[in-house]
């Protein structure tokens, strides 16, 4: 296989448009907490492109300069409404790319990434062009280094959306011209660089004739520029949640637990693996009956809608309380590493964060970044009787959530995050840290920890009895005397149960 000369300015000048894919590697999707059903994209100006060796400038007051190694496709032919079987034929070359960004400017253009990913010279490509038609597009590797340390590595064999699908999909509605560039997504590991860091990206693999091929290392240094953005539009702004998102974890971002962080006083869990398995095997309707038998009538969190209908959850309650918005209190308690962020950051596997928002639907109390953080930490679910922002992205995550409604406003419109791990009210139910929460398609129930074992075991017994009763009804027996069982039916049930136990012992 013959490789072209080193990529030059002519390639950049020929790029009429640059299109980037949001999510395309399963490893990255797992970090983000959602796997897209279809590809989604954002446009980048051609002026954002640069060559290997160019300096990548971080403006003044920008903290989070992110970098992402990617495979870049350069169109070699015109493509308009092409089928997936012929789409790859229209790709001319493959090279490496670094889809770097200024995360501090993502907030005003979230999703479009216009300013955060569109700065002049922030997206280098190169250094060598590989002829696409001599490559197997499913057998390429992309790797990224920061100061010589390997940060990212993945294979195009894992792609959620293969390259040909991207070309065919985009060409349905827009004409792809020779020279247009598609950035095909980044794998897990993307993080933050500092001025002085050297970033390198390489794409390699094996050509169709078996020859090893490589783009060589795309190498660029991050530098601090003298540019100060004038206050004519959005200025750099970042909070701890965005730092965690950009760096990949609170630890990498250097965000330590504060003195008031809830994890210092986490309630002990009463759930053993066996008890949890029993609770997962029974329905909330059955648990509600058992709670009522013990005089517990008010253990239902009501009036909420799930992001994942039909989800089954079992976990231990952690609590967060909001108070009504007041400007002076929001100034002192709403910003920075507030109670909401501390509560989310303190979650551990099996925890269910339950929020008291007074049933106020006029703002969000949960959004996609914090839901993602809870998922990454292994939390079981999030429940709020307030609104949920970013309802679509949150619904696409693996972690289930319940809320009163979807609402686009930030929490400061109606709430001040106030206290963690106190007794709260949510959806009409009192919830204490350490309570066991069980949820399914019938609803959400709260079980006091001292009752969990007996309620779970009796619920399992009840469901075995009801399954036996259902079999008798299916045989044609009337429900009178059978449901509930009278003495005669009870004797028959116990005889059957004893016989079954004897056969399985």
pLDDT digit string, tens, across residues 357-372: 999 999 999 999 999 9
Look at residue 258 in the predicted model and tell me its pLDDT. Answer: 39
Report whether pLDDT(462) > 60. Answer: yes
Q: Is residue 505 part of a domain?
A: no
Residue 18 included in any domain: yes
pLDDT at residue 4, rounded to an integer: 52
Question: Is residue 291's pLDDT more than 90?
Answer: yes
| Residues 193, 334 share a domain | no
Tokens of 289: 């009956």
Last residue of a domain, one of 196, 219, 238: 238
All residues at 6 or more sequence positions from 440 whose CB lies less than 8 Å from its CB, including other chains? 283, 284, 310, 311, 312, 313
Q: Tell me how far apart the alpha carbons of residues 241 and 172 are, in angstroms, rounded to a whole number.
A: 37
Residues spanned by the domain of 213: 9-238
In this structure, are 183 and 320 located in the same domain? no
pLDDT above 80 (res 452): yes
Domain boundary among 447, 462, 481: 447
Do both 320 and 423 map to the same domain? yes
Lowest mean pLDDT among 46-50, 129-133, 328-332: 328-332
List residues bridging with 155 in a β-sheet. Answer: 141
Q: Which residues contact 462 (CB under 8 A, 6 or more apart)?
A: 282, 286, 289, 290
If asked whether residues 135 and 222 sit together in one domain, one would say yes
Does any domain span residue 486? no
13, 141: one domain: yes
Q: Are the C-beta atoms of 336 and 240 separated by less than 8 Å?
A: yes
At residue 108, does pLDDT exceed 50? yes
Give 155's pLDDT tier (boundaries 50, 70, 90).
very high
Is residue 270 within 8 Å of 434, Cβ to Cβ? yes
Q: Which residues contact 502 (CB under 8 A, 6 or more apart)?
A: none
Claim to verify: residue 174 and residue 311 sit in the same structural domain? no
User: What are the angstrom distances between the C-alpha of 29 and each of 26, 185, 190, 293?
Assistant: 5, 10, 12, 45
Residue 173: exposure state from Cβ atoms within 10 A (0-12, 13-18, ≥19): exposed
Residue 436 lies in a domain: yes
* Annotated binding residues for substrate: 367-370, 389
For residues 149 and 35, membership in a common domain is answered with yes
pLDDT value at position 257?
Answer: 44
What CATH number does the domain containing 414 carry? 3.50.30.40
Q: Are residues 320 and 234 in the same domain?
A: no
97 token code pair: 């790319």
Q: Find the mean pLDDT for residues 169-197.
A: 96
Residue 485 — very low, low, confident or very high, per pLDDT cuts 50/70/90? Answer: confident
Q: Are residues 194 and 335 in the same domain?
A: no
Same-domain status, 224 and 343:
no
Determine the Cα–Cα distance for residues 478 and 360; give it in Å rounded to an integer. Answer: 47
Task: Record the tokens describing residue 136, joined without a space.
Answer: 């197997």
**What count of other Cβ atoms lies within 10 Å of the Cβ of residue 362?**
15
Percent of the chain with pLDDT over 90: 77
Two tokens at 277?
Answer: 């398995």
The pLDDT tens digits of the residues spanning 251-285 come to: 677 765 433 343 445 666 888 888 999 999 999 99
Q: Which of 150-154, 329-333, 401-405, 457-461 has the lowest mean pLDDT?
A: 329-333
- Domain end (from 219, 238, 257): 238
Mean pLDDT of 188-204: 96
Whole-number Å distance between alpha carbons of 106 and 242: 10
pLDDT at 449: 92
324 in a structural domain: yes
Same domain, 324 and 207: no
In three-state secondary structure terms, 422 is: coil
User: Does 339 fall in a domain?
Assistant: yes
476 or 267: which carries more pLDDT confidence?
476
pTM for the complete prediction? Answer: 0.58
Residue 494 has pLDDT above 70, yes or no: yes
Q: What pLDDT, on the 0 to 100 scale, is given for residue 336?
A: 77
Residue 247 counted as domain residue: no
Annotated binding site: 367-370, 389-390
Task: Work out how many domains the chain is built from and give that number.
Answer: 2
For residue 501, the model assigns a pLDDT of 61
* DSSP line for 114-158: TTTS-STT-EEEEEEEEEGGGEEEEEEEEEEEETTEEEEEEEGGG
- Mean pLDDT for all residues in the chain: 91
Q: What pLDDT, on the 0 to 100 scale, is given for residue 260?
A: 35
Are residue 106 and residue 208 in the same domain, yes or no? yes
Residues comprising the binding site for Mg(2+)? 390
The strand pairing partners of 153, in sequence order, are 143
Q: Is residue 71 part of a domain?
A: yes
Residue in this structure with the two tokens 């009192």, named with its chain if needed:
430
- Find the CATH number of the domain harbouring 124: 3.90.850.10
Three-class SS of residue 34? Answer: strand
Average pLDDT over residues 85-101: 97
């Amino acid at each position: 296989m013959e490789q072209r000369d080193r990529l030059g300015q002519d390639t950049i000048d020929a790029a009429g448009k640059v299109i980037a894919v949001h999510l395309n590697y399963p490893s990255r999707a797992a970090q983000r907490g959602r796997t897209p059903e279809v590809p989604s994209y954002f446009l980048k100006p051609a002026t954002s492109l640069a060559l290997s060796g160019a300096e990548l400038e971080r403006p003044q007051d920008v903290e989070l300069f992110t970098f992402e190694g990617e495979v870049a496709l350069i169109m070699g032919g015109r493509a308009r409404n092409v089928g997936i079987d012929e789409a790859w034929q229209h790709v001319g070359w493959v090279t490496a790319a670094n889809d770097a960004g200024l995360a501090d400017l993502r907030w005003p253009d979230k999703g479009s990434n216009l300013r955060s990913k569109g700065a002049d010279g922030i997206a280098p490509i190169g250094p060598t062009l590989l002829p696409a038609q001599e490559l197997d597009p499913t057998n390429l590797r992309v790797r990224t280094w920061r100061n010589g340390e390997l940060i990212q590595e993945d294979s195009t064999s894992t792609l959620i959306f293969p390259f040909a699908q991207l070309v065919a999909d985009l060409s349905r509605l827009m004409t792809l011209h020779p020279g247009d560039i598609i950035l095909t997504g980044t794998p897990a590991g993307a993080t933050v660089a500092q001025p002085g860091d050297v970033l390198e990206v390489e794409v390699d693999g094996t050509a169709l004739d078996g020859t090893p091929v490589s783009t060589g290392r795309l190498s660029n240094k991050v530098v601090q520029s003298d540019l100060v953005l004038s206050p004519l539009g959005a200025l750099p702004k970042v909070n701890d949640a965005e730092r965690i998102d950009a760096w990949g974890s609170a630890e990498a971002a250097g965000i330590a637990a504060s003195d008031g962080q809830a994890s210092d006083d986490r309630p002990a869990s009463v759930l053993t693996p066996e008890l949890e398995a029993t609770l997962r095997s029974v329905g909330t309707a059955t648990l509600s009956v058992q709670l009522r038998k013990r005089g517990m009538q008010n253990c239902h969190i009501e009036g909420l809608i799930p992001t994942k209908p039909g989800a089954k959850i079992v976990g231990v309650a952690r609590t967060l309380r909001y108070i009504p918005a007041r400007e002076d209190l929001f100034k002192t308690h709403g910003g920075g590493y507030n109670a909401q962020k501390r509560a989310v950051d303190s979650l551990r596997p099996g925890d269910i964060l339950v929020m008291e928002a007074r049933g106020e639907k006029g703002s969000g109390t949960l959004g996609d970044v914090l839901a993602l953080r809870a998922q990454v930490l292994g939390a079981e679910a999030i429940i709020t009787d307030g609104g949920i922002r970013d309802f679509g992205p949150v619904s696409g995550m693996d972690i289930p959530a319940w809320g009163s409604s979807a609402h686009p406003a930030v929490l400061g419109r109606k709430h001040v995050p106030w206290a963690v791990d106190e007794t709260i009210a949510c959806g009409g139910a009192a919830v204490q840290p350490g309570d066991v929460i069980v949820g399914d398609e019938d609803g959400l129930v709260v079980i006091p920890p001292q009752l969990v074992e007996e309620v779970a075991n009796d619920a399992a017994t009840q469901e075995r009895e009801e399954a036996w009763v259902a079999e008798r009804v299916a045989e044609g027996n009337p429900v009178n005397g059978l449901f509930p069982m009278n003495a005669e039916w009870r004797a028959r049930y116990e005889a059957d149960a004893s016989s079954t136990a004897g056969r399985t012992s």
